[in-house]
Structure 1
Amino acid sequence: MTFKPLFYSLFLACAFYGTAQQQQKKETLFTIDTTPYYTDEFVRVYQKNLDLVKDESQKDLDQYLDLYLGYKLKVAKAKKLDLHTKPNYINELNTYRGQLAKNYLTDSKVTNELITEGYERMKKEIRASHILILVNENAAPADTLSAYTKIVGLQKRAIAGEDFGTLAQQYSEDPSAKDNKGDLGYFSAFRMVYPFETAAYTTPVGTISKPVRTRFGYHILNIHDVRDNRGEVSVAHIMLLHSDKDDPQENATIEQKIQDIYKKLQQGESFETLAQQFSQDQSSSVRGGALARFGSGQLSSEVFENTAFSLTPESPLSKPIKTQFGWHIVKLLEKHEMKSFDALKGEIESKISRDDRSRIIAESMNEKLRKKYPVKRQEKVYQATRKAITDAVYTQSWDLPTDLTPYKGTLVSFDKKQLTGEDFLNYIATYQKQSEPIKPLSKWIDYHYDNFIEIQLNHYYDANLENEFPEFSAVMDEYRDGLLLFDLMETEIWQRAKTDTVGLTSFYENNLKNYQWKNRYDVLIATTTNEAVAQKAHGLLKKKATAATLKEKLNTAETVSIMVAEGVFEEGNESLPKTVTLSKGLQPVLKEGAYYYIVLVNEVLPAGPKALDETKGRVINDYQNYLESNWLSELKKEFTIQVNQDVFTAVKKQIKN
């Protein structure tokens, strides 16, 4: 998002949703050429900006109308110059609209519920085992039933008392189950696919879950434990790898070496130095052994993880521990408690957008849109269109029919939108490469027809946000005009004021009285709270000491006794003591409040005009205002303006009441 248009804060400062607006009678307040501008927008903008305007004259409705007219004149000029057709303008406006529309294109109620649920689940960590029977999401009904029957059978055996780990080892189609007996260790929210996570958080400890379907297949879970979230931890480690050949003698040597390193640490040697010297984890040794922070279930070694979380600031170093990778010594760097809801809200929402929960939000929104815009389908056209789609879609080799005439009739309609069979066939041609291998073909077509309708409903709703939400339309109108106005001012006023050196110089010379120096003083000012230091500084300056000498003689590495500033200061500058007599030469030590001032006036510069280079920024700003004022007068001549005074009188009365 760009913030360029926000320079015109009088009109563009606005809350995202805005405040509740009273229904205003819409009448033409004024016209610029033949374009009408209405009372409702004028009243809304005036009321919205009333508290933002500090200049009381701008709260006067007559003054405000003049400002508002000027604003709209500039926008009219920008459109006359076709600035609204420029690619950069269109792209920037579309980018902003896309960002603004996001909050309208999802079901915020469902999203907020999922954020709250996610945070509550993150407070706990679950330890569970599972058994998986693989089956594709789009598998044939017979294959789905077969997988379901298997998992139900295993569930019954586990509930009847058979050892869950043994069943997992024998029957689970998760390859890791052969080694870990299905044990997943501890995990929290967003670590597993959403249906699996939901089963884990809703099944009581010590029980077997009902079969749960995920995109991998059917699972049953055995819930072993629930504990509070341990947060995250930052640690460093020194690691020695096990012998590649699993040589007992070599492993014994490695164990002795890790014990020797541990003794060095106990003797006070640097952990970071020893990690750099001996650790065989090349990715962390260069950083003194430091690892990225992690939470429960994020490492492949539960032993290492539990050791890391057991360390405390009082006892930050572990004894050597053995994992499947080798030997480690772990040092605690920092523990990170779980963040608050407000701190995690954005992160949780981002995670939701990337996992299965996003489907729930999309499905909820699609359901709302189907209710809002009932879809009417012409069965005859639909059946004819279906027949044009062949099995070639499975190999992404299907082509559109050569003659599309039979498919140009209306396939579906909703609200004011009509879509043809040709529209659907074009969708199929585009999306066949991204499809799931759903069979039979009739099911594949139905699946894509539903997707086609959902996409079209969402596009239609997005395109009509301005009609659906007055506050969205108002914000877009203001941003659209503000962006145009910025581009116009950039080309017509600001660049001209910077590059028109002749005009700038002439303006400066004609307004020289506005660019005057007061009396100025080239001074050295020393300040201290210590009178003795002040007297020493005064004595040193009498001997022509420099600022560097003062600091060298009176300050130490531990104590700053005096501060020194040098420069040219204008009369009234806050850096100058208020009661000092500023004449050339070294002034007597002066005390104001708690501070002693020692002032050496090198030169007195009398009041007089500023050179253009000394005040160029201010002159450019004044010149821009001058150009804009004259330009606005020209615009009032260029366009025909008609103000409906009777309507304006009624508006003033309405606002005052």
Structure 2
Amino acid sequence: MKISRLLIFVFLIAPYFLLAQTKEILFSIDNHPYYTDEFIRVYNKNLDLVKDDSQKDLEKYLDLFVGYKLKVEKANKLGLQNGTNYQNELKSYRNQLSKNYLNDSKVTNELVREAYDRMQQEVRASHILVLVDEGASAEDTLKAYNKIIDIKRRLDAGEDFVKVAQQFSEDPSVKENNGDLGYFSAFRMVYPFENAAYKTNVGQASKPFRTRFGYHIVKVVDKRVNRGEVSVAHIMILKQGEAAQQEKALATINDIYKKIQQGESFESLAQQFSEDKSSAPKGGVLQRFGSGQLSSEEFENVAFDLKTPNQISAPFESQFGWHIVKLIEKHPVRSYDEMKAELEDKIKRDERSLLITNSLAKKVRSKYSFTKDAKLIAKIKGTVNDEFYSQTWVVPEKAKELNGVVLTINKDKKVTGAIFLDFIASKQKSNIKTKPVSKLVDELFEKFVDEQMIAYYNDNLENEFPEFKNVMDEYRDGLLLFDLMEKEIWNRAKNDTIGLNDFFKNNIKNYQWKKRYSVDILSSTDVKVIEKAQKFLKKGKSLEYIKEQLNKDGKINVMSKSGMYEEDYDVLPQFNGLSKGVTSIVSKDKYYFVVNVTDEKPAGAKELSECKGKVISDYQQYLENHWVDELKKEFTININKEVFSKVKNQLNN
């Protein structure tokens, strides 16, 4: 039968690495050498995992290992390693495995801990924004910087933050909120803004800082313990324009509240009357939320003020209308261990990820050498123009002089100018504004170097980390072996009708029925109930009738099961000399049983249709056992007995 690719062979279970002190050729298959270090590593890795002590015998283990490698050789001989599905799956697995190595774990762990610590608090802050693009010209950047510095001077001189925000902030929402952003926690704001908010004391304004939106000053109004998240349902009546309509809406929400107090279903009333069309069909249920995630602070505060599940608020007003809220569940901030994986994932999608990438880039730049062709870069600069900024620039025809080697990494990886040109083109959608074009190309080349260096590092993980190479080798062999087994064994066992029938007939002794009985088995914990059931059976009453008579007032006093069972099934051995008719009563494990035998069949051979799954499984095992013998004839195997003797001494000592 088919099994998971990773469980095909005991050699492929959970990595544990113990390398041999020496590396010699242990055996070869058609002149393909296999070395002692792999054999010793695999043996030690699986020593405590194999259940069959015979497999710990080194002679037998070597035979198993050779058989395993014979199958891999056969797979390669058939060209299975060239299959598209195989290549894609191997690539996918490598990509997943390499993520652990393309990550500065120290920086990542620091960011995860920082984010979790910040999530224990919620910050309420106001800000002033002076807009300026990330790639703005030096002139525009300086103009924005001077403006934010002037604003900071005003604040330091004692001017009111709200008034200054109303006068100078370029955040469009300032007219409505006076720069007040409400409460928020980690990951709710861009990372530089979050940093400033958490590092500034309550009542103070930060120094000017820059995000991708421009320059900011943030004033921290309050900090409080994180309230976590909450799940609620609500009923909403929308605000209307005229006073009379608003009075009608208020009267409606009050009437609904009275109905709830009278005991009517909140969910039913939400479905009938709530004017929030997205939640009404679900009984008013909203997605769980935390502070700062909704547009209404009033709504959030009422929701979080509810204390116990199913508690319902009185009607209240928000900027959108009138609401009644029902608490479903409160979700406190989870533990660090519970959130660690989720926070790592958030960090990968957040601006924080740049810190990790930059750290890795710095690491590989110090690890590998690289050279660049300044003359070729200068020529490439000449092909890039201002169309880049409007995302209409097109890579020029690959002139021969532009397709030379622009970057060499570690003397063995050559990267052409054509690849750099394609990289430049791909960055147009990034909306980079750096000017002039020559400065833009220099900036992009540095990013290009980082990308290529990290790619080179990724390509060489097998050389850098022996454990990575070992896992990849095992997975590569495992995939091949799975495809080979499917082709040579599993599909053959299922589709070879003649071979399957012959195997079944030749091994019919393994597929025998014991004596069988067609029975109704009734059970109860009450002996008086089972006695009544026995009387009903003797009178020929049906199981339905018996249950109807004995299971009353919502209490189940008797259970039954029916079928054709072998003589040693479950409780049947408790009855002496089973025969047609109703048995006596027996007890087992605090239960009382009575059986009605309606038919019996003698012991005998099974039909293939009655045990086909088991026969196919056995036939597969038969084919596999004989298959290795066939492979030993197909390939030439040479085992170095002297080297194996040294391996045995090493492992036994």
TM bucket (normalised to shorter chain) is over 0.9
Q: Which residue of 2 aligns with 1:517?
A: 513
Distance in structure 1 (CA, Å) of the matches to 2:332 and 2:388: 52
**Equivalences for 1:200-239 in 2 at 5 Å?**
200-239=197-236
Alignment of 1:60-459 (within 5 A): 60-243=57-240, 246-313=241-308, 316-395=311-390, 396-401=392-397, 403-405=399-401, 407-409=403-405, 411-432=407-428, 434=430, 436-459=432-455
How far residue 388 of structure 1 moved from its aligned partner, in angstroms, is: 4.3
Query: Are the equivalent residues in 2 in contact too, given 1:390–1:398 (CA < 8 A)?
Result: no
**Counterpart residue type for residue 356 of structure 1:** E
**Unpaired runs of 5+ in structure 1?**
none
TM-score normalized by the length of structure 2:
0.96
Contact 2:18/2:45 (<8 A) preserved: no
Contact persistence 2:395–2:421 (CA under 8 A): no
Secondary structure of 1:52's counterpart equals coil
1 CA distance for matches of 2:193 and 2:3? Answer: 43
Q: In the alignment, which of 51, 54, 66 is matched to residue 54 of structure 1?
A: 51
Distance 1:407 1:77 in 2: 42
**Where do 4+ consecutive residues of structure 1 move more than 6 Å?**
none
Contact 1:5 1:12 in 2 (8 A): no
* Structure 1 residue 464 displacement after superposition: 0.9
User: Are the counterparts in 2 of residues 195 and 214 from structure 1 also a CA contact under 8 Å?
Assistant: yes
Per-residue CA deviations over 1:471-498 (Å, capped at 9, x if unaligned) read 1111111111111111111111111111
Root mean square deviation, CA, Å: 1.9
Counterpart contact for 1:581–1:587, Cα < 8 Å: no
Whether the 8 Å CA contact 2:384–2:393 is kept in 1: the answer is no
Q: Say whether 1:630 aligns with 2:626.
A: yes
Residues 306 and 35 of structure 1: is their aligned pair in 2 closer, same or farther, counting only changes over 3 Å? same
Partner Cα distance (1:341, 1:433) in 2: 37
Q: How far apart are 1:402 and its partner, in Å?
A: 5.3
Q: Per-residue deviation at 1:580? A: 3.8
> Aligned letter for 1:266?
Q
Q: Which amino acid aligns with 1:539?
A: K
Instruction: Determine whether 1:652 maps to 2:626.
Output: no
Contact 2:17-2:41 within 8 A present in 1 as well = no
Aligned AA (2:620): Q
Pick closer, same or farther for the CA change 1:163–1:46 going to 2, 3 Å.
same
The answer to whether the 8 A contact 1:121-1:201 is kept is yes
Q: Which moved more, 1:374-383 or 1:319-328?
A: 374-383
Structure 1 distance, partners of 2:455, 2:38, is: 28
2:474 to 474, 478, 485: 478
2:353 aligned partner, one-letter code: S
Q: Distance in 2 between matches of 1:39 and 1:623?
A: 34
**Aligned counterparts of 2:636 and 2:309: Cα–Cα separation in 1:** 81
Give the drift of 1:543: 0.8
The answer on whether the counterparts of 2:18 and 2:44 sit within 8 Å (CA) in structure 1 is no
Distance 1:402 1:339, change over 3 A: closer
1:466 and 2:467 correspond? no
Deviation larger for 539-548 or 381-390:
381-390
Question: What is residue 26 of structure 1 aligned with on the other side?
Answer: 23
Does 214-223 or 434-443 show the bigger shift?
434-443
Instruction: Give the SS at the match of 2:483.
Output: helix
* Partner SS, residue 31 of structure 1: strand
Q: Which residue of 2 aligns with 1:501?
A: 497
SS in 1 for 2:295: coil
The change in CA–CA distance for 1:589 and 1:351 in structure 2 (over 3 A counts) is same
- Structure-1 separation of matches of 2:3 and 2:215: 50
- Inter-partner Cα distance in structure 2 for 1:426 and 1:532: 86
Question: Percent identity of the aligned residues?
Answer: 54
Q: Where in structure 2 are there 5+ consecutive unaligned residues? A: none
What's 1:587 paired with? Answer: 583
The letter of the residue matching 1:150 is K
Note the C-alpha offset of 1:435.
Answer: 5.3
User: Following the alignment from structure 1 to structure 2, what is the Cα–Cα distance between the partners of residues 625 and 185?
Assistant: 67
Deviation at 1:409, TM superposition (A): 4.7
Point out the more displaced range, 430-439 or 136-145. 430-439
> How far apart are the structure 2 equivalents of 1:613 and 1:407?
68
Q: Answer with 145-154 or 420-429: which moved more.
A: 420-429
Cα distance in 1 between the residues matched to 2:114 and 2:571: 57
Residue 340 (structure 1) shift: 1.6
Per-residue Cα deviation, 1:187-229 (whole angstroms, up to 9, x for no partner): 1110000000010111011111111110000111111111011
CA distance in structure 2 between the partners assigned to 1:398 and 1:392 by the alignment: 8
Q: Residue 596 in 1 paired to residue 564 in 2?
A: no
Matched position secondary structure for 2:278: helix
Tell me which amino acid in the other structure corresponds to 2:300: E
Tell me: CA distance 1:142–1:234, structure 2 relative to 1, closer, same or farther (3 Å).
same
Say if 2:253 and 2:315, in contact at 8 Å, map to a contact too.
yes
SS in 2 for 1:192: coil
Contact 1:128 1:183 in 2 (8 A): yes
1:315 Cα offset (Å): 8.1
**Distance change in 2, residues 1:80/1:259 (3 Å):** same
Q: 1:619 aligns with which of 591, 615, 618?
A: 615
CA pair 557-492 structure 1, distance change in 2 beyond 3 A: farther
Look up the SS of the partner of 1:523 in the other structure.
strand
Matches of 1:429 and 1:234, distance apart in 2: 46
> TM-score, length-normalised on structure 1?
0.95
CA distance in structure 1 between the aligned counterparts of 2:531 and 2:422, rounded to whole angstroms: 91
- What's the CA shift string for 1:417-459, capped at 9, x where partnerless? 2334444334334544555132111111111111211111111
- Over residues 230-256 of structure 1, what are the superposed CA-to-partner deviations in whole Å (9 max), with x where a residue is unaligned? 11111122211112xx32222222222
- Structure 1 stretch 421-430 or stretch 121-130: which is displaced more? 421-430
Aligned amino acid, residue 519 of structure 2: V
Residue-by-residue CA offset, 1:312-361 (whole Å, 9 max, x unaligned) = 22882222211111111222122111122222222212211111101111
| TM-aligned CA distance change 1:75 to 1:607, over 3 Å | same
Say if 2:127 and 2:217, in contact at 8 Å, map to a contact too. Answer: yes
Amino acid of the structure 1 residue aligned with 2:142: L
Mapped contact 1:583–1:604 kept (Cα < 8 A) = yes
Amino acid at match of 2:13: A
State the AA in 2 paired with 1:322.
E
Tell me the matched-pair count.
651
- Counterpart amino acid of residue 364 in structure 2: L
**Contact 2:19/2:40 (CA < 8 Å) preserved in 1?**
no
Structure-2 change in CA distance of 1:275 and 1:314 (3 Å): closer
Tell me the amino acid that sits aligned with residue 109 of structure 1.
K
2:638 paired residue number: 642
Post-superposition offset of 1:583: 2.9
* In structure 1, C-alpha distance between the alignment counterparts of 2:144 and 2:113, rounded to whole Å: 34
